[in-house]
Amino acid sequence: QLPRLCDCKRNRIIMYSQLVVALALAPVSGFVSKPALAPAAPQRAQTTQLQMRTSIIGGNWKMNPTSLAEAKELATAVKAAAATGPGEAIIFPPHPFLGPVGDIVAGSNLALGAQSCFFQDSGAYTGAVSASMVKSLGVTYVLAGHSERRTLFKDDDAAINQKVLKVIETGMIPVLCVGETKDEFDANLCESVCAIQLAKDLAEVPAEAVKKMVIAYEPVWAIGTGLVCPSDTAQKVHAFIRSKIASMYDQATADAVRIQYGGSVSPESVDELMAKPDIDGCLVGGASLKGDAFGRILNYE
């Protein structure tokens, strides 16, 4: 006959048994400490969303440089810098330089872009260049709605919409530029202006095409004026543009489209801009004409 345990020993055994059972049934995460650097779930979700959109930096040369020799030299320097950049890179030379510059960047990760094109295929349009012409030179991206085209050359939203549709039809990718003037910004009309431009310029553009295209937010008042659009302000506008695309199409389209910031981007401002969650790239003007400065922008940190 087994000896009878005293009440105190029996109680201790019962307690130990209950503790063993509790340990066996408890989730492991409750007893194993997490690594100090492990990200929380929301951060992982955000990282996944950002990784969906490859960053894209564009250099708009405008009516520069003044000779083919200079254009070739600049293209060679930018090509070398783009090789180490974290995302996609594009240069937009003037039309006369597209062929020679295209030969230099061919086969690299530096894409060739055109600053504009006309929405007609051919005909009596003196001075115009068709989408098929620039595509035949190796162009992948085409600017549409740049503020200088809107103001200096009177491109209206109807013409911009036709250009966007023609670029897509020809198998290239439009970079649609939207943004407000200083007066509109001071009157708190930034979101209204961007919403109207998006609605008109993307008329009849299907969601699948929007997912692949690029939208560039250009605060006109910050282009070549010395005025600076704070990164928090730029992020707010980018978030609005993404929400507008979601309302026009759906959230999947809004999450996929890449939105650049364009407005006196410099080596000093690019890192702060690119750290914002809705800024997927930059459209660079003056700084893209300097190989070292644009190289630093392409290799933002």
- The catalytic site residues sit at 146, 218
CA distance 274 to 197: 24
- Whose tokens are 């408890």? That residue is 26
Q: Which of 221, 231, 299 is nearest to 261 (CA)?
A: 231
